[in-house]
Structure 1
């Protein structure tokens, strides 16, 4: 029978004395937060049976904090994963008694976004949101800031100068990355198309800027068509792709800069028994993975969701505890690039 881990095992793993671990376990004296965190991690690592008590001792003195998150497209796989990672990131924090409050908007109307952000701000200490660019959003964020509630923009950088931080990928670089893979996999001259969600998604505009800039600089012979707006929906993307291929027989590549890539995949499968057009999309889902395995998707550019959630929660907590320093910034994370050989 395996030996049951003891306090000595925890102390050895954490690099502290048995006395320090005993104080942390029994609450006989105050232990520094960083020390307590290392001891908790060590207890988990060795499987110590009383690790829950350590967690409770730390949490009992931690401040309560409600962190609000505003998302869209509740049924999409990406946002289902995102919501789970947000809850996990908040639950992992032992320096607060945190609660993740997740709400969804069912439309992309600025009024709906602004109202939802205000509602979250009324009951939460900080808010993170993926929302469109519009003056009404800026007004809502400015009002919350005046009330001491910091707002963070996720994936799409709205309310610049008023939000506390943007967190997500560098969208210009994402667009350049998509252009690079297309320019290096298309043989000979041809045309490429780009789908964007709409003009209220500043992140998509930046991806288009990066996409066009790279092809203009480095890919002679490749012509970029006017952007197509798909509102990030499958059906619009499907219909537009069918029309696009019919009107441009020399179409060589497509980049879907936001959502709706399932429509492009379905259209290309229907049009071509074997893959002919290079396709770059965002986020690895069941459908994009299958399309990549079959050759219809050339590369997937993925958001590092777990890292985004971890860093966002950290930024939100620090903003609440430290107060408004009058500064706003950008927090970029590198995308994960997936090609067929990685499946």
Structure 2
């Protein structure tokens, strides 16, 4: 049995098929009263628009690019998997997604990727550097719609950001860290790169809360692990050997090395990391990691695609568009 059609919507709204088509495809030229009647009829009939048919009827094929770091482990692997699932799902809707891999924190490689795009819109996860901002301006001038993903570039000409409020994520990490730790002691903060805006914002939020409410705890200078497991392991091991650490806040990737170093430490520090990966999930289970702050990669990819389509079609974006919820995991609420 087939579902409701545009004919059913037109009949329920008591308007013409042309009016229904204009409302569904945002063509304009319809009074607010007629638009309201069509939207009410859609809800009443349960009509679900077939995007594939709609795009095909307009002979419209959307070409969206994602310029993101590559990798087969950790957060970037989860992001790549989410992108591949969405790419396969959207083919029937005439939406073609191209995934363009780069190296994390490699500004030159990211610039090269942005200079060779052929798409209607692009979502980028890149370093905050003047060269990247220049490329964003060039893309916008050429008519390409630009969205930032995970790490924002607010000083650029990008049109939307999809991801966490990273300052709030850092503040949340500090709130838990301070409450977990009663006595004084030193806390190690590890970023992937201090040139990455999302890592800097998390550090900023973390420092602010520690200074505001937990001044009995000492923050060591932030170090860079470059999202590399061996580098992170070395940094944690060296810091632990120099002094007893009461806490570790790991902002980026490389958590396999973090886990190895914590397991070797004489005293177990309270350890808070980002992203629920297989490594951090196991760390929660065995007690090496105390808390994971996670963002849903699938939700981020879906939101990015929706925003790029809206921008390409000339629609206004809601004020809270692209906001991704922060999920908090402990040993007790993981599966």
TM-score where L is the length of structure 2: 0.82
**SS of equivalent to 1:60:** helix
Does the aligned pair in 2 maintain the 1:130–1:153 contact within 8 Å? yes
Q: Give 5+ residue unaligned stretches, structure 2.
A: 12-16, 25-38
1:341 aligns with 2:329: no
Residue aligning to 1:127: 122
1:223 aligns with 2:214: no
Correspondence for 1:254 among 248, 256, 261? 248
**SS of equivalent to 2:123:** strand
Does the aligned pair in 2 maintain the 1:148–1:324 contact within 8 Å? no
Residue aligning to 2:173: 178
1:20 aligns with 2:30: no
Q: Give 5+ residue unaligned stretches, structure 1.
A: 1-5, 24-28, 42-53
TM-score where L is the length of structure 1: 0.80
CA distance in 1, matches of 2:166, 2:173: 11
Q: What's the C-alpha RMSD, in Å, of the aligned pairs? A: 3.1
1:215-272 per-residue CA deviation (whole Å, 9 max, x = no partner) reads: 11111311111001111111110001001111112x1100011111221111111235
Does the aligned pair in 2 maintain the 1:59–1:94 contact within 8 Å? no
Residue aligning to 2:33: none
Residue aligning to 2:156: 161
1:150-299 map, 5 Å: 150-158=145-153, 160-249=155-244, 251-272=245-266, 276-299=268-291
**SS of equivalent to 1:322:** coil
Correspondence for 1:104 among 88, 101, 113? 101
**SS of equivalent to 1:182:** helix
1:85-128 per-residue CA deviation (whole Å, 9 max, x = no partner) reads: 234445656995101100101353212111101212xx110010
CA distance in 1, matches of 2:154, 2:174: 28
CA distance in 2, matches of 1:56, 1:167: 25
1:148-193 per-residue CA deviation (whole Å, 9 max, x = no partner) reads: 1011111111262311112211111111111111111113111111
Does the aligned pair in 2 maintain the 1:164–1:329 contact within 8 Å? no
1:35-74 map, 5 Å: 35=42, 38-40=46-48, 57-62=53-58, 63-74=60-71
